[in-house]
Amino acid sequence: VSRLVEYLLRRLGFYALAAWVAITLNFLIPRLMPGDPAQIMFARFKGEMNPVAIAALRETFGLTDAPMWMQYLSYLEHLFRGDMGISVSYFPEPVVNVIATGLSWSIFLAGTALIISFLLGTALGALAAWRRGGLLDSVAPPLLSLLGAFPYFWMAMLALFLFGFGLGWFPLWHAYPEGTSPGLNLPFLAGALYHAALPAATIVIASLGGWMLAMRNTMVGVLGSDYITYARARGLSPRRVLIRYAARNALLPNITGFGMAFGFVLGGALLTEIIFSYPGQGYLLIQAVRAQDYPLMQGLFLTITLAVLGANWLVDIVTLMLDPRTRR
Amino acid sequence: MRRAVHAGSTVALFLLLCLPGCRRNEPEFRPGVLTVAQEQQSSWVRNFHPFLPMGVARWPTSAGIYEPLMIFNRINGEYVPWLATGYSWSGGADRVTFTIRDGVRWSDGTPFSAEDVVFTFDLLKKKPALDTGGIWKFLESVQLDGQGRVVMRFQRPYSPGLMTLAHLPIVPARVWREIEDPVTFSNPNPVATGPFTEVRHFGNQVWEIGRNPHYWQKGQPKVEALRFPAFPTNEQVTLALIHGEVDWAGSFIPAIDRIFVGRDPEHHGYWFPLVAGSIYLYPSQRVPAFRDVRVRKALSLAIDREMVIRVALYNYTKPAEPAGLSDGYAKWRHPGFGPGDGWVHYDPKAAEKLLDEAGLKRQGEGGMRSGPDGNPLELEISVIAGWSDWVRACQVMARTLRAVGIDAKVKAYDFTGWFQKVQRGEFDLTMGWTDDGPTPYHVFRGIMATETVLPFGEASYANWHRFGNDEADKLLHRFERTVDGNEQREIAWRLQEIFLAEAPAIPIFLNPSWGQYNTKRFVGWPTAGNPYARLSPNHPPETLLVMTGLKPAPATEAVRDNQ
């Protein structure tokens, strides 16, 4: 057990180091960009501003000419207090509040879609490999690859026009019905599910093929191993062989992939959010880049980076449980 | 088996939740609520700060919640008295006096007075970060004269400053005096004089603002509340318009007669008056060949504007006038110039002749031309990626330029990248807009005043192409010092003559002011037949004229006309 704890702590130490590097890069990159971010910021304040006004605004945004190390220290200090500065495009709202308007919705929509897609794809992949050459194995992979190969933008638009606009089965926009108030009440929760159904379905359809093929291919390899033959020879039930012996091992690469994919959930499913007018991180990120809103960009990148690291740490733990070899 | 039952019940539950919604998703409406789509956002941030630029604070803040002293109406070129009942100049153009309206109340019921006006202007002086329009660059002082009037003294005579002063939103002194930091105050519950002041609901997807119980215009507004659903791009707004969910919008819609009006010809309408200014092709003085006026004129003569408008702009507009002034400046146009005068028309033969004279020789029969120094001349037309009408317009222009031997290629940049390059003058040719104002002063100042010429590499708000003319400078200074309409008009004529002689920028077409409406729930929209203001919601404070001009549609379905 102590070795287990030591291993986990070592990984945690590694992630802490990675987080520090990410935080520092996040500080440096905007400052290393060519041109004066302040100048670009004020260009959007149409009109010929007074130099006095510009100086006053620089101060408000915390743009100082202090030495780099001092700026770095105050950046770290602010970060620990959860203060990521003031957004330029949503002035004077703090970055933290701006991110909060979409974060939970991004996690909900993209997270749900990812989990469904992962579970369904992995299960289908395992079954397809188990009955290799069967109906599922010969129809599903090419069909799903075909769907996945459509430009996502086009497919989502088509779904919106067909099922939202044409048939009127699903809402055309937004994440919950207008009359409901967010909270633990049935109309809101049911409405939120209903609103998420179509966008989530498009993400699942687009990504299912990837999970399924990856699982199927690993599974085919695993099923050819000697220990599976041995397990079968010992007369274990096919179901037990499939789940406990084959799938458990074949799952490992997909779990790693899941950790990576989960990190990107916080980046938001950009196109989904735009097409379905769904609140979330993706659109904020685009907005921040367009407006050269450095504080907001930094805040978003930091959220994404930390989420990727966090998800990978969780994946480490899951891998540890599935694969005893990693414990050594 | 147990598991299968369990899965079945989950599906049943989901269907149960979904079924009540599985009818046609018709938009639901409450009477008196007007839905507007102007800002493009995916979620709303509650901000009603009146002095921040458009797009940062919510759209109705500067005109709708707060109100200015006067509103310049671009359609008829006149000031509409609002919180001020009138203004007068004295001492030439170095002092303007506003008479403040009586009987106006703030939305909390307390009386509005001239002191609030003085306080507002002083606030901007004290907090320069709020003075984004730069009014204290020319203002000297703002004082009460003891008779309910506000006197504004200038540092130097500057008549073009009137609009900036008239359009400043006025805030209540009693409230804003108490605010610790007015710069970073997001003003979540505004106290204001405008027609809409009571925030009824604010969610990240939809927010709503109700009418001011103490509004000074009796019986106004006839609209009970404004409602704002968040739509991230033009496509979603278009969809919402077609679906009948949005009553008022200002988007670009391709083939609008078929796509939008055709869906419900009885209620859907649009009006694109050509008053918003002209769109120009700017030749940067960075390119040596463009320092020759003959080359600039030849570029203009080589462009087939009719084709640009047909191919790229769905015939929504018309070719530019000889001196580039849009219909919004109709009364300022030089009476001696008619269509076909000068060089703002299509004449490729004349273009070739001018290019030959300028020494831009073709490299072989039918080849591309070289620069005056003999080196190959390869030009790039910079345009904003995603502005599809502009990109297509540039492609058409590149094709017609190549026909006269100018080797021009279109390159699209992301908005910020483009804006940065263009403001620094680091481009060959680019499509762009001009500065706007009640008179042509700002237009010509941004096109040919020496004082707006910054070095290449330094970001400039206007005069991206870096062209200056001494006589234009003198004329613009004379313009600043006079408030006499006739003298201003004569100066504007002379400026147009210089523009025609020098061809500093190449006008292409008049920029339409986009506006769409739906008469199902509200009537009284400005149209070509009832042109009391611009329909477009994109030009506050003119939007106040529309907000107070609308009324609910009669309950019957038999409303045919929009009156």
Residue B53 per-residue DSSP state: P
Query: Is the per-residue pLDDT at B129 higher than 90?
Result: no
Residue recorded with tokens 């989960």: A262
pLDDT tens for each residue of B393-452: 999 999 999 999 999 999 998 777 888 889 889 999 999 998 888 899 999 999 999 988
Q: Could you say which of 3.40.50.10860, 3.40.190.10, 3.30.70.20, 3.90.76.10 is the CATH number of the domain covering B70-176?
A: 3.90.76.10
Q: Do A292 and B22 count as a contact with CB atoms less than 8 A apart?
A: no
Task: Give every CB contact of residue A205 below 8 A, 6+ residues apart in sequence.
Answer: A144, A147, A148, A155
**Minimal CA separation from A59 to chain B, in Å:** 9
Cα B193 off chain centre by: 24
Q: How far apart are CA A171 and CA A232, in angstroms?
A: 50
Task: Look at B18 and A60 and tell me if their CB atoms are within 8 Å.
Answer: no
pLDDT of residue B352: 94
pLDDT at residue A43 in the model: 59
Q: Does B155 touch chain A (CB under 8 A)?
A: no
**Chain A window 46-75: which residues touch B at a Cβ cutoff of 8 Å?**
46-50, 52-53, 55-57, 59-60
**Mean pLDDT of the B368-382 span:** 90
Distance to chain B for A19, nearest Cα, Å:
29
pLDDT above 50 for B304: yes
Which residues on chain A are in Cβ contact (under 8 Å) with B240? 172-173
Separation of alpha carbons B383 and B411, rounded Å: 6
**Chain A stretch 139-198, residues whose beta carbon is closer than 8 A to a beta carbon of chain B:** 160, 164-165, 168-176, 178, 182, 190-191, 193-194, 197
The whole-angstrom distance between A214's CA and the closest CA on chain B is 26
The vertex-B270 CA angle with B526 and B325, nearest 5°, equals 75
Shortest Cα–Cα distance, A198 to chain B (Å): 12
Q: What separation in angstroms does the CA of B406 have from each of A163, A248, B93, B306, B377?
A: 50, 67, 47, 20, 7
- Using CB atoms, which residue from A39, A47, A178 is nearest to B459? A39
- At A28-44, the pLDDT tens digits run 887 776 555 566 556 55
**Tokens of residue B263, six digits:** 């869906």
Residue B432 phi/psi, 5-degree rounding, is -165, 175
Q: Given CB atoms, is A86 within the 8 Å cutoff of chain B? A: yes
Q: Is B504 left (phi over 0), alpha (psi -120 to 50) or beta?
A: alpha
Q: How many angstroms separate the Cα of B373 from the Cα of each of A171, B287, B351, B509?
A: 63, 12, 19, 32
Cα–Cα distance, B391 to B431 (Å, whole number): 9
- Residues of B with Cβ-Cβ distance to A193 under 8 angstroms: 14, 17-18
Q: What is the CATH number assigned to the segment(s) B11-20+28-49+229-273+516-562?
A: 3.40.190.10
Residue B479 confidence (pLDDT) above 60: yes
Instruction: Name which of B133, B184, B415 is nearest A92 (Cβ-Cβ).
Output: B184
Segment (H or E) for A301: helix A294-322
Residue A298 confidence (pLDDT):
87
The CATH number, out of the four listed (1.10.1420.10, 3.30.930.10, 3.10.105.10, 1.10.10.10), of the domain defined by the range B278-510: 3.10.105.10
Residue B10's pLDDT is 47
| pTM beyond cutoff 0.90 | no
Prediction ipTM score = 0.85
pLDDT band for position B63 (50/70/90)?
A: very high
The residue of A36, A90, A158, A189 whose CB has the most chain B CBs within 10 angstroms, and thus the best one to mutate to test that interface, is A90
Please, which pLDDT band fits residue A226 given cuts at 50, 70 and 90? very high
| pLDDT band for position A21 (cuts 50, 70, 90) | very high
Spatial distance between the Cα atoms of A35 and A42, rounded to a whole number of angstroms: 13
The whole-angstrom separation of Cα B552 and Cα B563 is 11
Following CA atoms A115, A116, A117, A120 in sequence, which dihedral angle do they give, to the nearest 10 degrees? 120
What CA–CA distance (Å, rounded) separates A96 from A78? Answer: 12
pLDDT(B7) > 50: no
Confidence of residue B169 (pLDDT cuts 50, 70, 90): very high
What does the alpha-carbon distance between residue A239 and residue A249 come to, in Å, rounded to a whole number?
Answer: 15
Outline which parts of chain B fall under CATH 3.10.105.10: 278-510
DSSP B246-281: -SEE----TTHHHHTGGG-TTTEEE---S-S-EEEE
pLDDT digits (tens, 9 = 90+) for A166-210: 888 999 989 998 888 888 889 999 999 999 999 999 999 988 998
Q: Is B103 left (phi over 0), alpha (psi -120 to 50) or beta?
A: left
A101-149 pLDDT, tens digit per residue, is 888 898 899 889 999 999 999 999 999 998 888 888 889 888 988 888 8
- Percent of chain A past pLDDT 90, that is, above it, reads 22
CB contacts, 8 Å: B134 with chain A: 47-50, 53
Which one of B28, B43, B240 has the shortest CB-CB distance to A279?
B43
Query: What's residue B559's pLDDT?
Result: 44
Instruction: Output the pLDDT for position B286.
Output: 94
What per-residue confidence (pLDDT) applies to B437?
Answer: 85
- Measured CA to CA, the distance from residue B466 to residue A239 in angstroms comes to 77
Centroid of chain to Cα B450: 25
B45·A102 Cβ contact <8 A: no
Q: What is the mean pLDDT of chain A?
A: 84
**Highest-confidence segment of A30-39, A156-165, B545-554:** B545-554
Chain centroid to Cα A221, Å, comes to 29
Q: By mean pLDDT, which of A30-39, B48-57, B94-103, B306-315 is the weakest?
A: A30-39
| Contact flag B56-A91 (C-beta cutoff 8 Å) | yes
Q: Which of A53, A92, A182 sits opposite B186 (nearest CB)?
A: A92
Q: Which residues in chain B have their CB less than 8 angstroms from residue A284's CB? A: 42-43
Mean pLDDT, chain B, rounded, equals 90
Residues B6-15 have a mean pLDDT of 46
HEC string for B423-466: HCCCCCEEEECCCCCCCCHHHHHHHHCHHHCCCCCCCCCCCCCC
